[in-house]
Chain A
């Protein structure tokens, strides 16, 4: 079985108020069939056996769907493989190097470091809380097939809804903008009939919350799309901007503007 020897520089930070620094670790004999997180598990087991504290990192599903894992590897959120979360990244990507890796947390003013590689991303939840939903009471829905939806529209909505909320888009953006995340949710709901009644109200509230959280503005670098493990398209940002424009042109109480896409 093929193995590689790694030299890692890992960001260690005791807590939000600690300054933090890179610490160097050698991890020899890494099987290329391991996932990146399994490689870190091996490192951590070694640290624990020496009585040292393990490197803290966020992870849960390890299947690329929960959006928990979040680290920057050699300057790239989630590492070198396109369309792949850190937990799905396997060491065979490094079979031919590089063998020296810098691993740091997703950085943004809106995401304070909690410890080591783990950050606080609750700003994303607050953006959803501000309006990223359809206001429907439990039990009040009509039959699901009463509202046919064009398959193409439904598919586009699903493309946007596939966002896992990992925040790689923010980590990749030179302005630390949360536009791709916010736009994905706005698009998902704007593309469906169920999302229409609150469509313009929603975009207004979510964009305001995004700004209030201290994320930067979008200046079309498109680094977000390149870093997104789910391939969420920047065309969603254009849709958000169009909806925002329309929302600004209408009074707050005229929530629904007919003739949207």
Chain B
């Protein structure tokens, strides 16, 4: 652009008293009606939900003594090594292993399904739809349900928990990975396509290496979630610290229960710090 195109604009702006362009906001008459309708709908939904869940705060106020007695029984936590601490720590490790295997062993399945379920890497529209449907299914079925199904095949124990987590995590992580692939800059992939690379080569040499940081971030997040899920799976018989918590509640040993919960707290903090540390290193 040549300088002389600039001058008139600046001069005009400085000298004229009358604005050359009148400020008139475009009218959108339906805007406030829409806002009001959305607000009313949200309030209405909450009213129905409060009704549907028997949400009555007064019950909590009336019954606080029961809760206090329960918590009082749990203090002080039982720190005896043989009876509580040792089995607790051993079971915690099992919980950690369930979460770990449930995450890592789902990686190949999640990776394959994600590549087939992302618009920019899927070989065909039909494959895309099928992969999406499979992911939705594994995501929709809760890990507890998978655990109950696998228990009928392999019996109670950690193995059923691992299998359950693999299934559910494949669905969730595959979806998250597919989305992060769709958000990636398409340029490098297009560049390889024009260079004559086939679809698999494009994905392996442009799309995947571009999304590695996002993938690892999501993997760590899922590891974190899966360790906590494996606790819950323990409650339904998949072993680990969840099982011990369940047993100590059933046998009214609330002081042991508290110890186990404290161990879980430490585990969760350690896992959280570990993922944060890796993510920091990755970002650097």
B and A form one assembly: no
Please list the residues of chain B having a beta carbon within 8 angstroms of any beta carbon in chain A. none
